[in-house]
Amino acid sequence: MRHRLLGIIVTAIVLGLSVVMAAAVNQGQENIGIFGGKSGNVPFPHRQHQDRIKDCNVCHSVFPQETEAIKKLKETGTLKAKKVMNLQCIKCHKQEKKAGKPHGPVTCKTCHVK
């Protein structure tokens, strides 16, 4: 009986730690510098977006989760200029603004830093 109870406790602890570790691994970087082309790079509060959006595929359905993904896709012509901004960032920010919720910038120059 004791061994069984001990086994259940150990299993619960291991599962709990696994969930915590998996969540930490999936957080990604707190802030990321995104390639922004001629307009200048974009400092991106990645963790803040993860906490708010929850579903990584909202953004990563357009570009993979890898370093310099947007730059690589633009260089190969796979990702057209302004696609991320117009179809992802600005669109979402404007929807949140229209809904009366806290939102990010809705103009290009607010994010791009030369």
Q: Is 12 left (phi over 0), alpha (psi -120 to 50) or beta?
A: alpha
What's the confidence (pLDDT) of residue 50? Answer: 93
**Cβ atoms 108, 34 nearer than 8 A:** no
Tell me what percent of the residues of the chain surpass a pLDDT of 70: 77
Domain boundaries defined on the chain? 1-30, 31-111
What's the confidence (pLDDT) of residue 48? Answer: 93
Alpha helices in the chain (DSSP H): 2-25, 46-53, 57-60, 69-75, 83-84, 90-98, 108-111
Q: Which of 25, 13, 27, 99 is nearest to 56 (CA)?
A: 27
Average pLDDT of span 39-54: 92
Q: Which of 77, 87, 85 is nearest to 109 (CA)?
A: 85
Task: Kindly report, residue by residue over 47-103, the tens digit of the pLDDT.
Answer: 999 999 999 998 888 888 888 998 998 899 888 878 888 888 899 999 999 999 999
Q: What is the DSSP letter of 89?
A: I
Burial of 35 (0-12, 13-18, 19+ CB in 10 A): middle
Q: How many CB atoms lie within 10 A of CB 6?
A: 10
Does the pLDDT of residue 20 top 60, yes or no?
Answer: no
